[in-house]
Amino acid sequence: MRNLLAATMLAAVVSSVASAAAPELTAQERQATHDMFEHVINTPTVIGRHNVPQMAQYVADQFRNAGFPVSDIHVIPYHTGSATTGDDDTAALIVRWRANAPSKRPLLLMGHMDVVEAKREDSSTDPFTMTERDGYYYGRGTIDMKDGITAITQAMINLRKAGFRPKRDIVVLFTGDEETNGIGAKKGATEWLDLLGHPEFGLNADGGGGGYNVDGSPAGFAMQTAEKTFAGYTFTVRNRGGHSSKPRKDNAIYSLAHALDKLEAYRFTPKLNDTTRAYFTAKAKMDKGPLGDAMRHWLANPDDAQAADFIEASESEVGLTRTRCVPTRLFGGHADNALPQLATAMINCRIFPGEDPNAVKAELERLVNDPTVVVTRNDDNVASLASPLRSDVTSAYTHAVETLHPGMPVFPEMSTGASDARPFRVAGIPVYGVNGAWVQVPTDFRAHGKDERIPVQSLYDNVVHWQLMLADLAGK
């Protein structure tokens, strides 16, 4: 699941900053990037097709051919599956680039090799044959996120060939089921931690990124530092039912409807954390209207719930001020002429980082306030945590963005979706979504959708972006 960019376009007021010419790839590096990208796009790593191990081996081979020692390259097959996704034989790739005398704990680079399904008949060209057209590379995974896999891999190869020697270990973890069950990330944050050398923090290519508006103005680059916790709940009402010709005063469907009416009216307490505070601060600067006013009021007074409600009600900011829960599915009854014995609603919650899903369950029970409505959890997800805004990461990301895109605003963001970062954040390893790809906003927001694509130059810029990031964070 990729959140390429904050959904709002920042109407950036950019002062044109003069900067040194951005570094560029050599023709040979550019060709190698192209070939690797084409190869991985053409490998359909959709769940159930058992192709991830093959891709992992291919990427491993690129590292090995570039001189990374075989003993530090691990293709780890694992199984993923669930009732709703089906099964797959997948794999993770772990590569460790060792420093001679590391002074700090390793830096983790993250990505995922799997992609969302794409059907030939739903696409203009074969989604698993990379196609270059109109200044774009088309294909499933071009922005989610084989661009990031290619960029990290090629950046490390380029740096190594250029004689770069990291001052701390750089460890790569590419998983094989982020789009479905996230088992690779869970293993990474637990049983593979030794192999990863217990990194100090992670940089995730499946987050961050930025773009330009259709009119060519910069739309900003986002650094993902937090994500809400995904948690499912079920409201269940049971009743003894009976014949529908004799309605009872109590009715499972009416009790459920009443609970849903309460949920509709309910708002969780607004909250701010470092990420959203910085995000809203940046947003407020861009917005001189009522929305900007509400942000300024709320930032000045976090207890100003009215201002927070106003922000939350804005289409561009939905979900960013608090926990949100919404009913997504309904089931009830067993025959049209019988009173319902059972009625259920699926409630999907996106919980503010740091809040315990069990506490949300208790809050749902309190707001429903009806013992006949039983609230249960559908999963055992634990609270996602926000990563602290580290000045070294912020500075490296801002520097890389500024180098390639002078005058581009950069701001942190909290994702309302979930990614591989969550188990690491839960395990105490901060993760930052800091990819360097850029797109045209919103025309190119096609992750999971039809005719996914990336601007040709964006692919190559991303390699440079990662080189700059690594030089900054592992070269000093």
Partner 1 sequence: MRRFVALVLAVCSTSAIAAVDPRTVPTQLPPAWQAKTRELFKQAIEIPSVHNRGEVPRVAHLLADQFRAAGIPDADIHFMPYEALPGDQTMALIVRWRSPHPVKKPMLILGHMDVVEAKRSDWKYDPFVFREEGGYFYGRGTSDMKNGDVATTMAAIKLMSEGFKPDRDIIFFYSGDEETRGVGATLGASKWRNLTDAEFGLNADGACASYDEQFRPLGCGISMAEKTFQTYFLTTHNPGGHSSRPRPDNAIYDLADALEKLRKYRFQPMQNEVTRAYFAERARQEGNSTLGQEIRAWLANPNDGAAADAIEANPLEVGLTRTRCVATMLSGGHADNALPQSATATVNCRIFPGVQPTAVQAELQALVGPNVEVKPDPNYIGVPTPASPLRPDVVKAVTAAIQHFHGPEMHVYPEMSTGASDGSFFRAQGIPVYDVDGSWGISPLDERAHGLDERIPVRAMYDDVHYWEMLMRSLAG
Residues contacting residue 250 through CB under 8 Å, at least 6 positions apart: 239, 372
Determine, following the binding rule CB under 8 A, whether residue 318 of this chain makes contact with partner 1: yes
Q: Given 3-state DSSP classes, what are the helix, strand and coil percentages for the chain, each rounded to the nearest 5?
A: 35, 25, 40
Residue 302 tokens, joined? 């976090």
Binding to partner 1 in span 97-156, by CB under 8 A: none
Per the structure block, which two tokens stand in for 144? Answer: 């989610």
In Å, what is the CA distance from 263 to each residue of 271, 305, 331, 401?
19, 18, 17, 42
8 Å CB contact between 6 and 131: no
Which residues inside 17-46 make contact with partner 1, applying CB under 8 A? Answer: none
Tell me how far apart the terminal alpha carbons of the chain are, to the nearest angstrom: 33
The stretch among 173-181, 277-285, 329-337, 439-447 that binds partner 1 (CB under 8 A) is 329-337
- The verdict on 14 binding partner 1 (CB under 8 A) reads no
When the beta carbons of 333 and 475 are compared against partner 1, the nearer one is 333
User: DSSP E strands: which ranges in 214-352?
Assistant: 218-227, 229-238, 242-243, 324-332, 338-339, 342-351
* Minimal distance, residue 349 CB to partner 1, in Å: 9
CB of 399 to partner 1, least distance (A): 31
**Helices 456-474 and 146-161: angle between axes, nearest 10 degrees:** 50
- Residue 382 in the binding site for partner 1 (CB under 8 A): no
Contacting range for partner 1; rule: CB under 8 A; set: 70-78, 152-160, 213-221, 327-335: 327-335
Nearer to partner 1, 165 or 334 (CB): 334
241 contributes a contact to partner 1 by CB under 8 A: yes
260 contributes a contact to partner 1 by CB under 8 A: yes
Q: Which two tokens stand for residue 235?
A: 């409201």
Would you count residue 242 as binding partner 1 (CB under 8 A)? yes
DSSP 304-331: -HHHHHHHHTSGGGTTSSS-EEEEEEEE
Q: How many residues bind partner 1 (CB under 8 A)?
A: 50
Do you know the residue count of the chain? 476
The answer to whether the CB of 114 falls within 8 A of the CB of 47 is: yes
Among positions 121, 134, 194, 264, the unique one binding partner 1 when judged by CB under 8 A: 264
DSSP secondary structure, 405-423, as one string: STT--EEEEEESS--THHH
Query: Shortest distance, CB of residue 259 to partner 1, whole angstroms?
Result: 8
Closest separation in Å from C-beta 34 to partner 1: 33
Q: Which of 165, 186, 166 is nearest to 177 (CA)?
A: 186
Q: Which stretch binds partner 1 (CB under 8 A): 69-77, 97-105, 235-243, 360-368?
A: 235-243
The reply to whether 251 sits near partner 1 by the rule CB under 8 A is yes
Shortest separation between residue 318's beta carbon and partner 1, angstroms: 4
Considering only residues 335, 358, 392, 450, which one is a binding residue for partner 1 as defined by CB under 8 A? 335
Question: 52 phi and psi, to 5 degrees?
Answer: -65, -45
CB of 263 vs partner 1, minimal distance in Å: 8
Q: Which residues make up the interface to partner 1 (CB under 8 A)? A: 7, 228, 230, 232, 240-247, 251, 253-254, 256-258, 260-261, 264, 313, 318-319, 324, 326-343, 345-346, 348, 350, 378, 416-417
